[in-house]
A and B are shown apart, each in its own frame.
Chain A
Amino acid sequence: MSTLSRSSGAVCGIGLGLRQGLASDLFASELPELRFVEIHPENYLRRGGRFRVMLARARERWPVLTHGLTLGFGAVEPAPHSYTRELRDFLRELDAPFHSEHLCFSSADGVMLHDLMPLPFRKEAIDTAVLRIRELRDTLERPVAIENVSYYAHPGQPHMSEVEFLLEVLERSDAKLLLDVNNVFVNAKNHGFDPYAYLDRIPAQRVVQLHVAGHTVRKDGLILDTHGEPVQDAVYALLAHTLRRTGPRPVLLERDQSFPKFEVLAQEVKRLDVLYREAVGEQADAEPQNQALDQPGVPWR
């Protein structure tokens, strides 16, 4: 167990998603490289039994970061207050330093798609996202981060590039960024842009967390962000590049399906930890401070 990441300061280093399919191995493991776990609040709200037990056990060992799945900031329909207030109370209970959701939409007219659907890169979508981010931040009473999503099609003709869209939302909403490096890679390959040029335009001080994951290439060449394969070398390289710009940040290895043996996943965590240490240098062992947060070193307790 890492006392460094629990006892004080903000969370930094490598983390894993707390998933039911991984939990028993995770709890049985001794993996000092693992510094935090991330949860989807939707999997715990209004839920008891094994899920609450799993969360309680995880909190005894690691800091917990929260990442929502259903409050896509581009939804024209506002989120129900009953849900966002419930989420606020849950985050309070966890003492979450910030909360992230996706720059996408997942619902319309009260219907849930249970997936991350792309927004048109246009002013109306920016206006909507900025409004929703501010609303959520006000309700949650803590910093809100937006995650860039992978997209396989753009609805209609875009009025700007993806990165311009993201930057304007960030700037106008004053939001934090959960930067998904794999999504940048997937989009760069599918839509033909330079991922390094994209990453170099991201203001490092807004980045509060990073995601990496595996992806799959379909027979027709389309790349899908599946979270079901190992992280590719090209994504490791992008992550290292990003960390050299941002400094220490929490880096989540996303694995949501096709779970390998835990030892395989643990090796991936260790490889990420080595890369992380090389990229951030001496700062890796310093008292961790997530400088993108308004209060560096937000205490956990």
Chain B
Amino acid sequence: MALIDVERAILCACFKDEVPEGLLAELGDRRSWLVYRELVRDRLRKELRVALPRTRRVLGDVAIETAFRRQLDQTPPRSRFFRDVVLELVTSALPTWRADPALAPWGADLAAYEAAIWEVSDIDARTAEPREFGFERAPLLSPALRLLTLAYPVHQGADSAGRYAQGEHFLGVYRAADDERPRTWTMNRSTHSLLTMWQSDPQLTVSEAVRALSRLRAFVVDEAFIDGLCGVLAEFLDAGILLGSR
């Protein structure tokens, strides 16, 4: 075997759900290659256990392991940063978990929420020096902010039966400026939409985003709206969700 074929064969032995016996025979020492397979998988499993403890409790080991095996087989890890295996697994598994009627309906939301916390906890949040905040400038958001729309309030405690009521919940998961710890901000749909617009178009000014939102939602931007917006933007500046203007 050429070196590239050796490397592909070992990759297959570690990640493919079904490892052809012929391939193991070609690599030699079947027992030891299966040891490698388990070592590689256990290392990844441990990271998932650390990052997604609540998801694991709610979905159960079987669902997590099934998703994990499918991910390794079909969309194996591509980031060189080990911490990213959590996001890679969750991204791969969310559609299946959302669609599976046998699983707790809030399990997928919980996975998305825990993955967001994991991601913002240590993400590099350095930016260019912000300018003073202004309505005619594009706002500078913290890179350690993830916006979620959830059908279940998994950021709050479950009821006494361990269930969550269905609804619509708009969250910002961010790393706080004061103690560098992840926090969750519950917001209304309009605020969530504005932050989403600024994340997707970093050049959009505050005024432009507000006008776009009023057109989209067909509401008039009145004094009460502006007062409310000023209040929440000031709170975002204090919290470190908003850093200033670009």
Contact = CB atoms under 8 A, between A and B. Distances in A.
Interface of A: 42-43, 45-53, 69-70, 74-76, 83, 105, 107-115, 117, 119-120, 122, 124-125, 128, 152-157, 220, 222, 224
Closest 8 A/B residue pairs (Cβ): A153-B32, A108-B7, A49-B122, A70-B80, A48-B124, A153-B29, A76-B4, A152-B32
A115 B122 contact: no
Interface stretch (B9-17, B52-60, B132-140, B148-156): B9-17
A42 B125 contact: no
Interface of B: 1-4, 6-11, 14-15, 26-29, 31-33, 35-36, 39-40, 43-44, 76-83, 85, 121-126, 144, 175, 180
A293 B214 CA distance: 65
Most buried by B among A74, A114, A115, A152: A114
7 contacts: A43-B82, A50-B122, A52-B124, A115-B43, A153-B27, A153-B36, A222-B35
Contacts of B43: 114-115
A156 B1 contact: yes
A115 B125 contact: no
A94 to B, nearest CB: 16
Nearest to A111: B76
A42 B122 CA distance: 13
A155 B123 contact: no
Nearest to A52: B124
Which applies to chain B's interface (DSSP): helix, strand, loop or mixed? helix
B80 A112 contact: yes
Nearest to B80: A70
Most buried by A among B2, B76, B124, B125: B124
Contacts of A222: 32, 35
Nearest to B26: A156
A40 to B, nearest CB: 9
A110 B33 contact: no
Contact of B81 (A46, A128, A224): A46
A204 B32 CA distance: 32
B122 A48 contact: yes
B82 A42 contact: yes
Given A50-B121, A50-B180, A156-B1, A114 B85 contact: yes
A229 B102 CA distance: 41
Contact of A111 (B1, B28, B78): B78
A117 B124 contact: no
Contact of B14 (A46, A69, A113, A224): A113
B3 A124 contact: yes
B10 to A, nearest CB: 5
Most buried by A among B10, B43, B77: B10
A114 B82 contact: yes
A222 B28 CA distance: 16
B33 A114 contact: no
A114 B27 contact: no
A128 B5 CA distance: 14
A119 B27 CA distance: 11
B6 A115 contact: no
A1 B82 CA distance: 32
Given A76-B4, A108-B8, A156-B27, A47 B14 contact: no
Nearest to B126: A48
Contact of A76 (B3, B121, B175): B3
A120 B77 CA distance: 24
Contacts of A53: 180
Given A48-B144, A105-B7, A112 B77 contact: yes
Most buried by B among A74, A117, A125, A153: A153
A155 B28 contact: yes
A155 B27 contact: yes
B124 A46 contact: yes
A112 B43 CA distance: 13
Given A76-B3, A83-B80, A107-B80, A115 B39 contact: yes
A176 to B, nearest CB: 23
B9 A155 contact: yes
A52 B14 CA distance: 33
Given A152-B35, A156-B28, A222-B35, 8 more contacts: A74-B7, A109-B11, A112-B76, A112-B77, A114-B43, A114-B44, A153-B27, A156-B6
Nearest to A123: B3
Contacts of B8: 108-109
A51 B122 contact: yes
B29 A154 contact: yes
Contacts of A153: 27-29, 32-33, 35-36
A205 B31 CA distance: 38
B35 A111 contact: no
Given A50-B180, A107-B80, A108-B4, A113 B40 contact: yes
A115 B7 contact: no
